[in-house]
């Protein structure tokens, strides 16, 4: 339109270049003027809400910190889902080296962690399911495992069933 009014294409190109430079400065200029330790500025916070879901955690690590991390995540997820017992379900499938935490024999060593794990199952749609085949290989029977844990024949088969037949989201 400017070209048609004034008939000078050079002025139009100058204005267009200035406009593009202005947009660039607005978009990327803050990076050039930020501090050395924060060249991209600060993160923004998303105020998303989440619908309750069915979630499966695969717990096989014998690392105490890995178990604590999963308990933290399950607890926070339960809070985000507002303890909804109708639309939410969390299953932690325990196998491998993680079995040791849930044995009565190790109760003294993992007392606080086990109290926390058990408390998540009270009044909440959160379950612990242990691989009976792996427990048997470790010389354990259901009588050796805490009562808030349900024994399932095989962890892998349970994980597959929960994902394929019951639409659980898989997390590690």
Q: Which two tokens stand for residue 81?
A: 């889902």
Q: What pLDDT was estimated at residue 124?
A: 82
CB-CB contact of 62 with 74 (8 Å) = no
CB atoms within 10 A of CB 132: 20
Q: What pLDDT was estimated at residue 5?
A: 46
Residue 14's φ and ψ, nearest 5 degrees, are -60, -45
Q: What pLDDT was estimated at residue 23?
A: 67
Comparing CA positions, the residue from 87, 171, 104, 114 lying closest to residue 144 is: 104
| pLDDT band with cut points at 50, 70 and 90 for residue 142 | very high
The stretch 14-34 carries a mean pLDDT of: 62
Q: Greatest CA separation found in the chain?
A: 92
Residue 116's φ and ψ, nearest 5 degrees, are -65, -45
Does residue 144 or residue 20 have the better pLDDT? Answer: 144
State the pTM of this model: 0.76
Q: What pLDDT was estimated at residue 47?
A: 86
**What is the full DSSP assignment across 95-112?**
-GGGGGGGBGGGTTTSHH
Does residue 131 or residue 29 have the better pLDDT? Answer: 131
Residue 1 has pLDDT above 60, yes or no: no
Residue 133 has pLDDT above 90, yes or no: yes
H or E stretch covering 129: strand 126-131
CB-CB contact of 99 with 134 (8 Å) = yes
């Amino acid at each position: 339109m400017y070209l048609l009014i004034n008939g000078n294409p050079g002025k139009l190109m100058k204005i267009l270049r200035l406009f593009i430079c202005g947009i660039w400065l607005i978009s990327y200029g803050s990076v050039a003027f930020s501090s050395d330790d924060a060249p991209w500025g600060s993160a923004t916070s998303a105020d998303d809400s989440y619908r309750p879901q069915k979630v499966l955690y695969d717990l096989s690590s014998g690392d105490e910190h890995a178990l604590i991390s999963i308990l933290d995540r399950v607890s926070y997820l339960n809070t985000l889902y507002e303890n909804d017992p109708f639309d939410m379900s969390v299953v932690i499938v325990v196998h491998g080296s993680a079995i040791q935490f849930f044995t009565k024999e190790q109760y003294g060593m993992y007392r606080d962690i086990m109290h926390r794990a058990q408390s998540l199952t009270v009044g909440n749609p959160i379950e612990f399911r242990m691989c009976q085949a792996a427990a048997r290989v470790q010389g354990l029977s259901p009588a050796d495992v805490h009562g808030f844990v349900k024994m399932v024949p095989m962890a892998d088969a349970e994980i597959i069933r929960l994902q394929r037949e019951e639409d659980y989201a898989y997390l590690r």
